[in-house]
Amino acid sequence: MKLENPDFNKKAYFKKLESVIYLFLMLPLAGFGWVFLEKESGNALRSVFFEEPDIMFHGVMLIGVGYILMRTVLTWRSDMIKYLDQFEALDVKLKMIQKPLIYRNILWAIGAGICVYGLYEKGDMLYALIFTVFLILITANRPTGHYFAKFFRLKGEERKWMEE
């Protein structure tokens, strides 16, 4: 196992990165709570999506959400693995993936924000469902030792070090 800095504190690194990621989630989460409660109090939530649909509005929202999901779910991992293959030390790989991880989670927070806006404008519960997808993506991919061990496909001593 190669480390450039033997004193690298991975637990502090994980906590710092996790704090930054959840900080970006707070604005859409607070917005969702406020919009949901406002719509609920006014009986403006709609559970039937195809009843009087606004095709142009929903189409633009779908394009935004689709782009974010395609960019962050379908191609992101392979792009990162290609980029990180040039580095051998695990601590360097972790440092180099920090900005792309934050960028990916900012995009997920923007996707959640799109859903909040859709819920605010139309009151369709479909946007609450898609918002939930973004919450699941953010929480399931939070930076932990297990996540990085799986992401880098580590084995043996490297995996043990990462998951400790």
pLDDT at position 41 over 80: yes
Of 11, 9, 8, give the one whose Cα is nearest residue 143. Answer: 11
Task: Check residue 46 and give its pLDDT.
Answer: 82
pLDDT tens readout for residues 45-57: 887 767 777 888 8
Task: Check residue 75 and give its pLDDT.
Answer: 87
Q: Is 2 exposed, middle or buried (0-12, 13-18, 19+ CB in 10 A)?
A: exposed
In a domain, 36, yes or no: no
In a domain, 48, yes or no: no
Of 105, 125, 101, give the one whose Cα is nearest residue 115. Answer: 125
Question: What share of the chain has pLDDT > 70, as a percent?
Answer: 99
SS (H, E, C) 46-111: ECCCCCCCCHHHHHHHHHHHHHHHHHHHHCHHHHHHHHHCCCCCHHHHHHHHHHHHHHHHHHHHHH
In a domain, 27, yes or no: no
Q: Which residue has the tokens 């061990």?
A: 149
pLDDT tens readout for residues 65-89: 999 999 998 889 889 999 999 998 9
Number of domains in the chain: 1
Do 147 and 162 touch, CB atoms closer than 8 A? no
Q: Which domain holds residue 138?
A: 55-163
In a domain, 37, yes or no: no
